[in-house]
Amino acid sequence: MKQTPLHDEHVALNGRMVDFAGWRMPIQYPTGIPQEHLAVRQDAGVFDVSHMVQLRVLGPDATAFLSWATLNDPAKLRPGQGQYSMLQNDRGGLIDDLYVYRDVDESFLVVANAANVDAVLGHLQALVAAPTPGPFRVVVRDESDAWALLAVQGPSAAAKLDRLVDADLTSIRKNRLVDTTLSGMPVRLARTGYTGEDGFEIFCRPVDAAAVWRLLLEAEVTPCGLGARDTLRLEAGFPLFGHELDASSNPLCTPFAWVVKDKPAFGLEALRAGGCPRRLVGIVLEGRGIAREGYRVLDEAGAEIGRVTSGTVSPLTRTSIALAWVDAAHADEGARVAVEIRGQPVAATVTPPPFYRP
Amino acid sequence: MKIPQELRFAASHEWATEPADGIVTVGITDFAQDQLGDVVFVELPEVGRTLAAGEAAAVVESVKTASDINAPLAGEVVEVNGALLDAPEAINTDAYGEGWLFRLRVTDGDAWGGLLDADAYAAVAEEG
């Protein structure tokens, strides 16, 4: 089991450590998941996401290669800009979802999910070498060991971080990446996140990670674990690979169809040919209960029309919310459905995410 | 981890008070609430329902998992803690007090003595 550079910090804070994608990670601290969730919605929280994968895609054909290999369009990125993207297979589904940053002209930083490192790296390297439309003059390498990654999120995140860094954070727009120093330590700040709130992801040297973490805690940023990260992203309506998205998920049938740009790309024809017999939707329960992953979604006559992929009770609104893949005939906003909880149908309504907007 | 001496316990982590006029109060232990994490939802049995010892009677759901709560003794449900429907976190903050789940009129008043005492339950909890 791998440990992030912040492992001892989590243990010192009595974080409850669990195994996640091959890593020992804190699911929560004694504060508890609902309080960590509220800290991010109302103030600021910090997450250790050093388990995430950082890949370098470098070479004269880097833009052309990523344009072919991913669904968003990296050609639109200027140096220092990033975009949410997806890595598609050629069977009408996905290998992972990604963040792609253009560092300098033909050098990109690609952030992927820890659980998928081997699949993503293997797929990209195979595509680089493929005779058509490659081979591309590109090197893809894993530089995850060079980075620790901390996400500072919440309405007060920018103000609290601003006192620690040399950059003027007001000048950093969403999805921008800048190099600066934090209390003298070199860091890269990206104005992105996975909570629906404003905030930054801080790439730093592993050797500096504990110092950055402690400075943030001294600035009264609440340490948050993977549990709150999950409830926050669900409330914000973001997908989690392995739950909402997998090898058979057509992104064109999700609220994230905007990612797919109109340009030649590996596997794109399979996505377009697949159609949308089912769609990924948000669901709000009217009755009581939690719609957990794998629970059946029913139509009003009680027939199965889909399955829940993630569900929780919003710590903010106490509403029971979920994401689910359902038959297209029941996927329109306002459609009346039910979720089967312990054998009983609980009434629910199809509601486009996000379930919460800051 | 708190384990009050005056209570008796089931190995499935419920506690029961000593019968008073044939009525026991039931909840989950401090160990159980700590393992579950933050409780966000509780499903309680209907008043009047008759339960066998060990029968699933309630559901306590935390952010991460749902857990069946069993009746530690056979009996009829005479009262439930409706306050938990709006404030399920009482199970975390006061597992042996405001976090109580339901009250049973027990079928066999002597069965309570056959449950685990605090020391025996401590050994169970230690094994997880």
Per-residue model confidence (pLDDT) at position B127: 84
Q: Does B59 touch chain A (CB under 8 A)?
A: yes
Nearest Cα of chain B lies from the Cα of A231 at a distance, in angstroms, of 8
Mean pLDDT of the region B1-8:
94
Length of chain A as a residue count: 358
Say yes or no to pLDDT of B55 above 80. yes
Question: What average pLDDT is seen over chain A?
Answer: 97
d(CA A233, CA A227) in angstroms, rounded, equals: 10
Per-residue model confidence (pLDDT) at position A358: 87
- Domain ranges in chain B are 13-127
The answer to whether A264 and A307 have CB atoms below 8 angstroms apart is no
Say yes or no to pLDDT of B128 above 80. no
Nearest Cα of chain B lies from the Cα of A328 at a distance, in angstroms, of 29
Q: What is the pLDDT of residues A2-53, one digit of tens each?
A: 999 999 999 999 999 999 999 999 999 999 999 999 999 999 999 999 999 9
Domains recognised in chain A with CATH numbers: 2-50+147-235 (3.30.1360.120), 53-143 (3.30.70.1400)
Q: Does A38 touch chain B (CB under 8 A)?
A: no
* Closest residue on chain A to B41 (Cα): A289
Q: Which residues in A lie closer than 8 A to residue B84 (C-beta atoms)?
A: none
Q: Which residues in B lie closer than 8 A to residue A292 (C-beta atoms)?
A: 66
d(CA B9, CA B12) in angstroms, rounded, equals: 8
Three-state DSSP state, B38:
coil
Closest CB to A290 among B38, B41, B92? B41
Mean pLDDT of the region B17-43:
96
The answer to whether A96 and A113 have CB atoms below 8 angstroms apart is yes
- Asked if B37 and A313 come within 8 Å (Cβ–Cβ), the reply is no
Per-residue model confidence (pLDDT) at position A117: 96
Which token pair is A169?
Answer: 């954070």
The answer to whether A334 and A344 have CB atoms below 8 angstroms apart is no
Q: Does A153 touch chain B (CB under 8 A)?
A: no
Report which of A156, A202, A324 is spatially closest to residue A255, judged by C-alpha positions.
Answer: A324
Q: Does A315 touch chain B (CB under 8 A)?
A: yes
Nearest Cα of chain A lies from the Cα of B112 at a distance, in angstroms, of 30
Report which of A109, A75, A229, A233 is spatially closest to residue A178, judged by C-alpha positions.
Answer: A109
Closest CB to B63 among A231, A288, A342? A231
Provide, rounded to the nearest whole percent, the portion of chain B with pLDDT above 90. 93
Which token pair is B94?
Answer: 């006061």
Q: Which residues in B lie closer than 8 A to residue A321 (C-beta atoms)?
A: none
Token pair 């999805």: residue: A175
- Asked if A34 and B64 come within 8 Å (Cβ–Cβ), the reply is no
Which residue positions in chain A have pLDDT lower than 70?
none
CA torsion sign for A317, A321, A323, A329 is negative
- Asked if A313 and B59 come within 8 Å (Cβ–Cβ), the reply is no
* Global confidence as pTM: 0.94
Nearest Cα of chain A lies from the Cα of B124 at a distance, in angstroms, of 21
The answer to whether A326 and A303 have CB atoms below 8 angstroms apart is no
Task: Give Dmax over CA atoms of chain B in angstroms.
Answer: 38
| CB pairs A-B closer than 8 Å | 40
Per-residue model confidence (pLDDT) at position A93: 98
- Asked if A292 and B66 come within 8 Å (Cβ–Cβ), the reply is yes
Per-residue model confidence (pLDDT) at position A287: 84
Closest CB to B41 among A33, A227, A289? A289
Q: Does B92 touch chain A (CB under 8 A)?
A: yes
Buried b or exposed e, range A74-100, using 16+ CB within 10 angstroms: beebeebbbbbbbbbbeebbbbbbbbb
Closest CB to A32 among B38, B43, B61? B38
d(CA A289, CA B42) in angstroms, rounded, equals: 8
> Which residues are A311's β-sheet partners?
A322
Which CATH number is correct for B13-127, 2.40.50.100, 3.40.640.10, 3.90.180.10, 3.30.450.20?
2.40.50.100
For residue A225, report the phi and psi dihedrals to the nearest 5 degrees: -100, -175
pLDDT band of B12, cuts 50, 70, 90:
very high
The answer to whether B68 and B43 have CB atoms below 8 angstroms apart is no
Per-residue model confidence (pLDDT) at position A288: 85
Nearest Cα of chain A lies from the Cα of B28 at a distance, in angstroms, of 18
For residue B74, report the phi and psi dihedrals to the nearest 5 degrees: -75, 145
- Asked if B43 and A288 come within 8 Å (Cβ–Cβ), the reply is yes
Any idea what the Cα angle at residue B80 is, between residues A297 and B64, rounded to 5°? 40
Nearest Cα of chain B lies from the Cα of A313 at a distance, in angstroms, of 7
